Amino acid sequence: MAETQLFETPTKRTVLDNGIRVVTERVPYVRSVAAGVWVQSGSSNETEETNGIAHFLEHMLFKGTRTRSAMDLANSLESLGGHLNGSTGREVSMYSAYILNEHVDTALEVLADLTQNPRFKASDIDVEKQVVLSELMRSLEDPEELAFDYFYQYVYHNHPLGYLILGTPDNIRSFQQQDLTNFHSLHYSPNRMVVAAAGNIEHDTIVKHVERLFRTDPRVEPGKTGPIQAPVDQKIINMKNLQQAHILLGYQTFGLADERRYALALLDVMLGSGMSSRLFQNIREAYGFTYNVFSFLDLMRDTGVFGAYAASEPDKVDRTVGLLQREIDRIKKGDIGQKELDKVKSQVRGSLVLSFESTGRRMKKIGESEIYQRPHQTIQQVLDRVKKVKIEDMVNAANHVFQDQNKCLTVLTPE
């Protein structure tokens, strides 16, 4: 195995012989540890027939392993004051444990068992189908969440990135033990895993635990998905039982590897983060068209989405969309002052520094960087990079991204 001390960063990284990457960040002044297993497995790895299986598999891992029941897994860390959790996204699934540092060996042992040794018992599958179907039905009753689901379908139409993470009812009902076994074997191989830990730990100790607990399986490289197409430019969806219209105006953008992501992140804060943002002040406060309005930036491996959301009265949709577009056009024309940019940078600095007082946030930072094969940076290095962003960088990024061929407008409105 090859070990490196990453240049000018407290993050240490080791690649084991089986392909698992171990990254750690020592925080000596805390008593806690956040540990996570990151897996290159998400809805983008699915087909139309298997859509939803990555998320369903995540649920099934918590139903028991070959040596632990679901109750054993629940008690394993809760009995020690910690907790265990999982999540599934479009490109990555992550299993996390939060625990006192004296119990980190237990946390890693549970995470290894959870992700490597599922039992996929037929009776458990039948029960969990009802749970996931209930989760899906709940999401379909949340108009904001539903609007985002439709929006991603149209931004990434005819591509797995546009699939519903939860899947479809018919698919969920159809999943069987062999489907789960096949998907797990294909996507949960060691070379597609990262073990990340942050807290009061020693890197070498974590590496020894991972070497002992994670087995050597054949390396697997699933096939790549097809090319991403331009978004559907506009989609109006009429639905019953809605009181408001839910508006999403967004653009396909570049992925995490692009250095312009720093400029785009500042644009996101400037446009729609908090009560002092442009969208809040210039739409909600100035016109009262909407109670909830914000922007968002979702960057993935090779692509991403920059967008804005607003909920308005149905008869205010056109004017609200016009106001959203106006704010985007202002930025494209260079309507950004140095004082405003300095305020946004200060906002980002405070938010970033405060968030990294959490071992969980630190673990997520190093885990995400490693699973996406991005350079590890200290907080100060990130802040230095943000500090260097100029107005012209933001304008150039805006003009690159905010183009009609990248745009998608999705509106859910009452019938």
Report how far apart, in Å, the C-alpha atoms of 261 and of each of 46, 255, 268 are.
27, 8, 10
Q: What CA–CA distance (Å, rounded) separates 217 from 188? A: 9
78 classed as catalytic: no
- Residue 194 C-alpha from the chain's centroid: 15
Q: What CA–CA distance (Å, rounded) separates 201 from 32? A: 9
CA-closest candidate to residue 32, choices 127, 105, 104: 104
DSSP code per residue over 255-267: -TT-TTHHHHHHH
DSSP H helices in 246-402: 261-272, 278-279, 286-287, 317-332, 338-355, 359-371, 379-387, 391-401
**Which amino acid is present at 357?**
E
- What tokens were used for 228? 């991403």
Catalytic residue (one of 25, 58, 91, 128): 58
Q: What CA–CA distance (Å, rounded) separates 358 from 349? A: 15
Would you name the residues annotated as active-site residues?
A: 58
